[in-house]
Amino acid sequence: MKAFTNPQDLVVAIDDAKSHIMQRVIFWKKRWGEFQPPAGVAWNWTSVPFDAAAASGVPNNLHGLYTFVLCPRVASHPKNQLILYVGKADKTTLRARFQHYFQEKKKVKRPHICYALNKYEGNLEFCFTTVANQNDIEPGEDALLVALMPPYNEKFPASVSQIIGGLK
For 149-158, the pLDDT digits (tens) are 999 999 999 9
Task: Assess whether pLDDT exceeds 70 at residue 1.
Answer: no
**What are the pLDDT digits (tens) for 80-134?**
999 999 999 999 999 999 999 999 999 999 999 999 999 999 999 999 999 999 9
Summarize the confidence of residues 157-164 as an average pLDDT: 91
CA distance 74 to 16: 19
How does the average pLDDT of the chain come out, rounded? 94
Q: Evaluate if pTM is beyond 0.85.
A: yes
Whether residue 64 contacts residue 128, with contact meaning beta carbons closer than 8 Å, is answered with: yes
